[in-house]
């Protein structure tokens, strides 16, 4: 993208409404614009980041055998009346009537809908297990949206639903999702820790919140440093091996980890002092097993091995995709702007032409731009060098290729790594090789 004709409205000053770093930076770097309280338009740069995160989430879901589908945002109220949640959900649910005065709603989640879809077609235990997911916009009419995209009313969420014949199967599905989540967050450059969450009336121990560490997180968290040594990368654990999954799950759940509301000082005291870690955390995912909470009331049954109908055991698994954009920034920024991890950056590099009109600068920039094309944001604006440096730092591309008349004459460019601030003078070929 050529910045001179790109729609990337950066701001020098911070809009008054933005309180936290990620919100400020998303507005300043031209990623999003608010259109109503808690509702945002994703501008080109922000959308690229959102798509990158979505892609990683999708790849890791697929990797453990989940299947993608896409359910609508608008749902009929009847389904929610069947589960009893139409009344329970309260004002957070955005209720709508169509022209025929039919009661509809903008989905805040999809348990009812997926259950309806599944009950229509799944008739035998032999078709189980199933894990289905979709990445779709949700709406929850929060009383008080805040923190920009981190706590909006409209948000993009990946929600998956597992269906198993029995509890043992549900446990396996649950562990697969936990594995997919850890890999997802790792690829996003985040340190995520699963922390035990409330199971409410369901009971048991199959509910975890995934908390990522960021100085501006909303809750205080405590965990054992042993988490940092667990290897759950692809290859280390097979999602098809129940034994691997069990070993992984035990590793993830035996060490101490809790948010402040579930913090147990006695258990904490048993963690070796040098392994105790504390910090602030942001919830970016939640997985839980809910048994037959929806299958039973909604009449979702399959024939069991003995031919008798059984309500399947289910679970649901959410990742706040749009929230993650903010969360990544919270976890990775400095006074000058965003520092994108390579995996989610809108562009791999910014190409700064410090002197437009200088034959050598123009030629080198065009050559690099021609080779990197869509992966680079070419700052070809007629601005001063300082403006370009500041905007590049603000937008946070992992690399900056600085082409100035000084080096250009000798065929050299300067390569700067945003995360470390390190710069070095290299040849065009080296710069291209390093970035690609």
97 near RNA, rule: CB under 7 A = no
Q: Show the binding pattern over residues 16-55: x = contacts RNA (CB under 7 A), - = does not.
A: xx-x--------------x-xxx-----------------
Who contacts 398 (Cβ-Cβ below 8 Å, separation ≥6)?
A: 340, 341, 342, 345, 348, 349, 417, 418, 419
CB of 74 vs RNA, minimal distance in Å? 18
| Helices (H) then strands (E): counts for the chain | 13, 23
With beta carbons less than 8 A apart as the criterion, state whether 128 and 178 touch. Answer: no
- In terms of DSSP H, where are the helices of 255-312? 265-269
Residue 310's φ and ψ, nearest 5 degrees, are -130, 135
Nearer to RNA among residue 145 and residue 169 (C-beta):
145
Beta carbon nearer to RNA, 149 or 252 = 149
Q: Is 8 in the site for RNA (CB under 7 A)?
A: no
The closest alpha carbon to 362, from 349, 372, 351, belongs to 351
Interface with RNA, residue 423, by CB under 7 A: yes
- CB-based contact 148:141 (threshold 8 Å): no
Instruction: Tell me which stretch binds RNA (CB under 7 A): 162-170, 236-244, 363-371, 386-394.
Output: 386-394
Q: How far is the CB of 341 from RNA (least distance, A)?
A: 19
Q: For the CB of residue 136, give the shortest distance to RNA in the complex, in Å.
A: 12
Q: Which stretch binds RNA (CB under 7 A): 60-68, 235-243, 279-287, 367-375?
A: 279-287
Establish if 335 lies at the interface with RNA (CB under 7 A): no
> Of 125, 291, 269, 115, whose CA–CA distance to 204 is shortest?
291
Residue 414 CB, nearest approach to RNA (Å): 4
Among 5, 99, 100, 144, binds RNA (CB under 7 A): 144
Selected binder of RNA within 15, 203, 215, 299 (CB under 7 A): 15
Are 106 and 96 spatial neighbours (Cβ–Cβ below 8 Å)? yes
Part in contact with RNA (CB under 7 A); list of ranges 120-128, 136-144, 182-190, 266-274: 136-144
Distance in Å, CB of 206 to RNA, minimum: 15
Task: Choose the stretch contacting RNA; rule: CB under 7 A; options: 69-77, 148-156, 165-173, 365-373.
Answer: 148-156
Q: What is the dihedral of CA 196, 198, 204, 205, to 10 degrees?
A: -10
User: Quick one: 39 or 69, whose CB is closer to RNA?
Assistant: 39
Q: Is 322 in the site for RNA (CB under 7 A)?
A: yes
DSSP notation for 317-334: EEEEHHHHHHHHHHHSEE
Residue 177 vs 311, nearer CB to RNA: 177
Number of residues binding to RNA, judged by CB under 7 A: 61
- Decide: is 3 part of the binding site for RNA (CB under 7 A): no
141: contact with RNA by CB under 7 A: no
CA distances for 243 relative to 86, 141, 176, 184, angstroms = 40, 42, 12, 21
Q: Does 285 bind RNA (CB under 7 A)?
A: yes
Rounded to whole angstroms, the Cα distance separating 286 from 271 reads: 25
Give, to the nearest 10 degrees, the angle between helix 167-187 and helix 44-63. 140
Q: Work out the burial of residue 91: count CB atoms within 10 Å of its CB; fewer than 13 is exposed, 13-18 middle, 19 or more buried.
A: exposed
Q: Binding of RNA at residue 429 (CB under 7 A)?
A: no
In DSSP terms, 413 is beta-bridged to: 426
Q: Is 355 in the site for RNA (CB under 7 A)?
A: yes
Q: What are the tokens at 123?
A: 């008739």
In the bound state with RNA, the residue whose beta carbon lies nearer, of 218 and 375, is 218
Task: Look up tokens 């690609």; give the residue.
Answer: 436
3-state secondary structure of 27: helix
Q: Are 315 and 321 in contact (CB under 8 A)?
A: no
Task: Name, in order, each residue with C-beta under 8 angstroms of 11's C-beta and a sequence gap of 6 or more.
Answer: 27, 28, 30
Q: Three-state DSSP class for 41? A: strand
Nearest approach in angstroms of CB 240 to RNA is 27
Options 146, 280, 371, 434; binder of RNA; rule CB under 7 A: 146
Our CB check for RNA shows the closer of 16 and 272 to be 16
Residue 55 parent element (H or E) = helix 44-63
Question: Per CB under 7 A, does 140 bind RNA?
Answer: yes
Q: Is 202 in the site for RNA (CB under 7 A)?
A: no
> Residue 110 or residue 295: which is nearer to RNA going by CB?
110
Contact code string over 206-225 relative to RNA, x by CB under 7 A: ---x--------x-------
What CA–CA distance (Å, rounded) separates 376 from 379? 9
Applying CB under 7 A, which of residues 275, 406, 417, 434 lies at the interface with RNA? Answer: 406
Q: Alpha helix locations (H) across 340-436?
A: 359-372, 385-395, 405-408, 428-435
Give the interface with RNA as residue ranges (CB under 7 A).
10-17, 19, 34, 36-38, 91, 140, 142-147, 150-153, 155, 157, 209, 218, 283-286, 318-320, 322-323, 336, 354-355, 383-387, 389-391, 393-394, 402-408, 414, 416, 423
């Amino acid at each position: 993208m050529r910045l001179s004709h790109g729609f990337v409205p950066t701001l020098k000053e911070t809009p008054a409404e933005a309180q936290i770093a990620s919100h400020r930076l998303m507005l300043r770097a031209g990623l999003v614009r608010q259109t109503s309280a808690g509702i945002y338009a994703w501008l080109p740069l922000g959308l690229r980041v959102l798509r990158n995160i979505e892609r990683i989430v999708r790849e890791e879901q697929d990797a453990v055998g989940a299947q993608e589908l896409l359910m609508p945002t608008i749902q009929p109220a009847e389904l929610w009346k069947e589960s009893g949640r139409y009344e329970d959900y309260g004002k957070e649910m955005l209720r709508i009537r169509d022209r025929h005065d039919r009661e509809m709603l903008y989905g805040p989640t999809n348990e009812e809908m997926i259950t309806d879809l599944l009950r229509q077609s799944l008739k035998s235990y032999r078709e189980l297990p199933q894990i289905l997911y979709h990445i779709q916009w949700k709406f929850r009419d929060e009383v008080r949206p805040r923190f920009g995209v981190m706590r909006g009313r409209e948000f993009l969420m990946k929600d998956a639903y597992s269906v198993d014949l029995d509890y043992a199967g549900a446990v396996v599905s649950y562990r697969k999702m936990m594995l997919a989540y850890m890999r997802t967050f790792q690829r996003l450059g985040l340190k995520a820790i699963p922390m035990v969450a409330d199971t409410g009336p369901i009971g048991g121990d199959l509910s975890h919140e995934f908390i990522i560490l960021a100085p501006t997180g909303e809750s205080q968290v405590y965990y054992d440093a042993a988490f940092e040594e667990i290897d759950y990368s692809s290859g280390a654990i097979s999602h098809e091996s129940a034994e691997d999954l069990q070993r992984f799950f035990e590793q993830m759940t035996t060490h101490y980890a809790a948010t402040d509301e579930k913090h147990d000082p006695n258990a904490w005291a048993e963690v070796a002092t040098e392994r105790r870690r504390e910090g602030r955390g942001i919830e970016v995912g939640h997985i839980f097993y809910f048994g037959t909470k929806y299958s039973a009331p909604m009449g979702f049954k399959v024939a069991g091995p003995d031919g008798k109908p059984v309500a399947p055991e289910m679970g649901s698994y959410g990742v706040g995709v749009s929230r993650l954009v903010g969360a990544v920034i919270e976890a990775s920024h400095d006074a000058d702007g965003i520092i994108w991890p390579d995996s989610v950056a809108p562009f791999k590099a910014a190409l700064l032409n410090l002197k437009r009109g200088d034959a050598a600068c123009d030629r080198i920039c065009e050559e690099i731009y021609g080779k990197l094309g869509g992966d680079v944001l070419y700052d070809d604006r007629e601005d001063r060098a300082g403006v370009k440096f500041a905007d590049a730092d603000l937008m946070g591309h992992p690399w900056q290729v600085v082409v100035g008349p000084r080096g250009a004459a000798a065929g050299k460019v300067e390569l700067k790594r945003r995360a470390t601030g390190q710069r070095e003078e290299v040849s065009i070929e080296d710069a291209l090789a390093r970035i690609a």
